[in-house]
């Protein structure tokens, strides 16, 4: 779903390698390639440092034949000064195994006004010949990061170096020194990669009287060693994380160590020990940002004039913020976390997710409705009840709207029951096409931080009924004796299914382009076809289901076998998947976009002179994660095919993956089944 849904809450002071799993937009990737054209590739200089030469004879960690490179050595040293400033030293050394591993010869580090890169150098130790070296003067600085997802301007910049001769058999490495002024005293050490890691180290140096709390995520705990105010953690032989389709996000599976720093006395930068502390920190950032201006107050009166009930008023305000306030992000310094004041957002008519939530909350307050910020990650699984509090877990801001007993509405389905605050309606003002009262799939059954004046609570967002999203497809067809099929189909799209279609329509320029989706749908089910008529309704009526109506002709749909006709009752529409048809066993859960219910009802009138000889067997499959029920019957002179497919559980654990594979295989078998027609009276 390509809506503008994320704030810029990316970790800033980290030096990262090319292959670290950071989201890179297509625009940024193209810009990096352009930068590489001007990076010197044949630089020679001093020898590589001793810590790299010590790795020349080091054994390579276990890997398969598809591995591009291995990380021989990784080291991060964090030194905290008494005034709270930090110095970070990052070292990496890779051995290139395949030609495609050249990408590990590119390193970059992000910086901003609070983060200074003191030095950046890279080296190559060839299997034969002299060392290569690249220094600061060979680096390129660029503003690549501020180009995607509606982000107009950011103070984050990127410094890159290209290490020459990153060829198979060679060792490449780099070292980056940075000075950091964090917003909060927390540091995340991520030591697991998409490639095997031989050895990785993290060293922490603290001033006297400072303390720390270490929390391990997704990995067995490794005991620290040290003396005085210096501690070190070492992890060896870290297995690679291999990507799987529909797996949880990187944060949910990669080995990490969260360091929470606790300075003596009181400090507004003290690391969070509880979610309530993090909620108070966010609430302090938001103070005064929701104070209205006369212009906002006047606009609320105009929009709600003539609306008798609170739900009606809330809907018109939601429509205004969703569609009249453009998504544009201008994020400098703490601006990745702190919203702009509501009057600025209203006057400029643009803002990011935090800003849109702020303006919506301000306008709701004018009609006597209380609301709370809700920080969330748009990828389900990044946060769970065992996750320790940390400011970078979340990348999106939405709202929790407090409902009183008199605010009853059948359309309010995305409701969370808070133990103290009562009913909280979850609403995303940035999501332009999900109506007020509903919630798109990736936010459902997700965890977010509900920020209140008293602190914060990590809550699980509601999962909507399966009937809230999906496609209902009905068709009436006439089968000819020569196997040709004609018919009329009606499709009704609800919830996320409708939203995906509307985003597709937004990208189309001509009415004729709107049938391209139908063409792809039909092409996946029919060998030959022609659309003779097509229309679509409710494209811009987001509160209504979207509806297609179209007619088709499909020559040679039924196959002949002597005097028999073989007819597939499922004319079109797929529910099967080859997601799990892999050689390697599944390691991670399967994450679905959200719950859904798809229904098919097809009537196929038989050709004159034919009757049914054999019907496909009924299929009834019901698992905790989903169900599938299909049946073909004869009524009069017609085949009637009905099918219901449901995704009931948005996350399927590895223990149920074998059942999910069986589930899809049974669906695939049913989708291939044919009914057999014979000449009437034939034996």
Q: Please write the tens of the pLDDT for every residue from 196-208.
A: 999 999 999 999 9
Query: 370 by DSSP, 3-state: which?
Result: coil
The model's confidence at residue 223, banded by pLDDT at 50, 70 and 90, is: very high
pLDDT at residue 6, as a whole number:
52
Q: How many CB atoms lie within 10 A of CB 230?
A: 14
- Whether the per-residue pLDDT at 33 is higher than 90: the answer is no
Domain spans of the chain, in order of start: 50-262, 275-464, 467-679
Buried b / exposed e along 121-142 (16+ C-beta atoms within 10 A): bbbbbeeeeebbbbeeebbbee
Q: How many CB atoms lie within 10 A of CB 237?
A: 11
pLDDT at residue 508, as a whole number:
79
The model's confidence at residue 305, banded by pLDDT at 50, 70 and 90, is: very high
Note if the pTM is more than 0.85: yes
- Whether the per-residue pLDDT at 510 is higher than 90: the answer is no
pLDDT at residue 370, as a whole number:
97
Share of the chain above pLDDT 90, in %: 80
The model's confidence at residue 565, banded by pLDDT at 50, 70 and 90, is: very high
Answer yes or no: CATH 2.60.40.3140 is held by domain 50-262. yes
The model's confidence at residue 4, banded by pLDDT at 50, 70 and 90, is: very low
- Whether the per-residue pLDDT at 576 is higher than 80: the answer is yes
Q: How many CB atoms lie within 10 A of CB 260?
A: 20
Residues of the chain by 3-state class (helix, strand, coil), percent to 5: 20, 35, 45
pLDDT at residue 135, as a whole number:
92
Tokens 């944060």 locate to 251
* Pairing, β 350-351 against β 326-327: parallel
- Whether the per-residue pLDDT at 43 is higher than 80: the answer is no
pLDDT at residue 176, as a whole number:
96
The model's confidence at residue 16, banded by pLDDT at 50, 70 and 90, is: very low
Q: Is 467-679 in the same CATH topology as 275-464?
A: no
**Nearest Cα to 348, choosing from 367, 330, 370, 368?**
330
**467-679: what CATH class?**
mainly beta
pLDDT at residue 20, as a whole number:
34
What mean pLDDT is predicted for residues 467-472?
Answer: 96
Q: Which CATH architecture has domain 275-464?
A: Roll (3.10)
Share of the chain above pLDDT 70, in %: 91
Q: Which secondary-structure segment (H or E) carries 212?
A: strand 211-217
pLDDT at residue 145, as a whole number:
45
What mean pLDDT is predicted for residues 560-578?
Answer: 95
What mean pLDDT is predicted for residues 610-622?
Answer: 96
The model's confidence at residue 146, banded by pLDDT at 50, 70 and 90, is: very low
Cβ-contact 314, 364 below 8 angstroms: yes
Of residues 4 and 391, more confidently modeled: 391
- Whether the per-residue pLDDT at 39 is higher than 70: the answer is no
- Whether the per-residue pLDDT at 77 is higher than 80: the answer is yes
| pLDDT one-digit tens code per residue, 317-376 | 999 999 999 998 877 777 788 999 999 999 999 999 999 999 999 999 999 999 999 999
C-alpha–C-alpha distance, residues 524 and 54, integer Å: 56
What mean pLDDT is predicted for residues 416-420?
Answer: 95
């Amino acid at each position: 779903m390509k809506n503008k849904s994320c704030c810029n809450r990316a970790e800033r002071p980290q030096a990262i390698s090319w292959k670290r799993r950071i989201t890179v937009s297509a625009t940024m990737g193209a810009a990096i390639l352009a930068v590489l054209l001007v990076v010197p590739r044949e630089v020679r200089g001093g020898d590589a440092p001793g810590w790299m030469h010590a790795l020349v004879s080091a054994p390579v960690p276990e890997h398969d034949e598809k591995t591009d490179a291995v990380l021989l050595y990784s080291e991060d040293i964090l030194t905290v000064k008494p005034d709270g400033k930090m110095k970070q030293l990052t070292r990496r050394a890779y051995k290139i195994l395949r030609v495609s591993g050249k990408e590990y010869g590119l390193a970059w580090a992000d910086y901003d006004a609070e983060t200074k890169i003191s030095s950046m150098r890279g080296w190559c130790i060839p299997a034969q010949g002299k060392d290569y070296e690249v220094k600061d003067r060979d680096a390129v600085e660029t503003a690549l990061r501020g180009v995607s997802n509606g982000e107009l301007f950011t103070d984050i910049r990127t410094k890159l170096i290209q290490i020459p001769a990153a060829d198979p058999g060679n060792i490449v490495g780099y070292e980056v020194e940075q000075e950091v002024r964090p917003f909060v005293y927390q540091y995340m050490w991520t030591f697991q990669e998409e490639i095997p890691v031989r050895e990785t180290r993290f060293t922490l140096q603290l001033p006297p009287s400072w303390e720390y709390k270490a929390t391990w995520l997704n990995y067995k705990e490794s005991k620290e060693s040290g003396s005085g105010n210096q501690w070190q953690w070492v992890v060896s032989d870290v297995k690679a994380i291999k990507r799987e389709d529909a797996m949880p996000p990187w944060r949910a599976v990669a080995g990490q160590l969260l360091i929470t720093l606790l300075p003596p006395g009181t400090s507004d930068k003290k690391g969070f020990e509880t979610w309530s502390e993090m909620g108070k920190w966010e609430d302090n950032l938001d103070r005064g940002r929701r104070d209205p201006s006369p212009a906002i107050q006047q606009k609320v009166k105009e929009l709600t004039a003539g609306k008798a009930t609170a739900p009606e008023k809330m809907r018109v305000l939601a429509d205004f913020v969703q569609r009249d306030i453009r998504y544009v992000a201008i994020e400098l310094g703490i601006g990745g976390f702190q919203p702009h004041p509501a009057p600025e957002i209203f006057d400029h008519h643009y803002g990011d997710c935090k800003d849109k939530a702020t303006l919506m909350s301000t306008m709701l307050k004018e009609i006597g409705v209380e609301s709370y910020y809700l920080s969330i990650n748009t990828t389900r699984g990044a946060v769970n009840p065992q996750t320790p509090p940390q400011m970078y877990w979340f990348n999106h801001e939405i709202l929790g709207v407090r409902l009183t007993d008199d605010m009853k509405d059948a359309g309010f389905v995305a409701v969370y029951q808070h133990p103290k605050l009562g009913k909280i309606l979850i609403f995303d003002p940035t999501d332009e096409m999900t109506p007020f009262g509903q919630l798109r799939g990736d936010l459902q059954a997700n965890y977010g931080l509900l920020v209140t004046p008293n602190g914060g609570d990590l809550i699980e967002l509601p999962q909507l009924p399966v009937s809230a999203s999906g496609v209902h497809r009905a068709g009436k067809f006439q089968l000819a004796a020569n196997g040709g099929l004609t018919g009329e189909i009606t499709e009704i799209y609800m919830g996320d299914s409708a939203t995906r279609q509307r985003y597709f329509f937004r990208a189309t320029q001509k009415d004729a382009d709107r049938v391209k989706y139908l063409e792809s749908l039909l092409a996946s089910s029919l060998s030959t076809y022609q659309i003779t008529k097509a229309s679509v309704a409710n494209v811009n009526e987001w509160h209504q289901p979207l509806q297609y109506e179209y007619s088709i002709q499909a020559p040679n749909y039924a196959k002949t076998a002597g005097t028999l006709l073989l007819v597939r009752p499922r004319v079109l529409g797929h529910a099967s998947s080859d997601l799990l048809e892999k050689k390697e066993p599944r390691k991670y859960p399967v994450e679905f976009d959200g719950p859904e219910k798809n229904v098919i009802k097809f009537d196929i009138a038989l050709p004159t002179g034919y009757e049914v000889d054999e019907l496909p067997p009924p299929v009834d499959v019901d698992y905790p994660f989903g169900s599938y029920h299909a049946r073909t019957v004869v009524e009069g002179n017609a085949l009637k095919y009905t099918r219901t497919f449901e995704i009931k559980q948005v996350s399927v654990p590895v223990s149920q993956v074998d059942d999910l594979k069986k589930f899809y295989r049974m669906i695939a078998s049913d989708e291939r089944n044919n009914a057999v027609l014979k000449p009437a009276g034939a034996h």
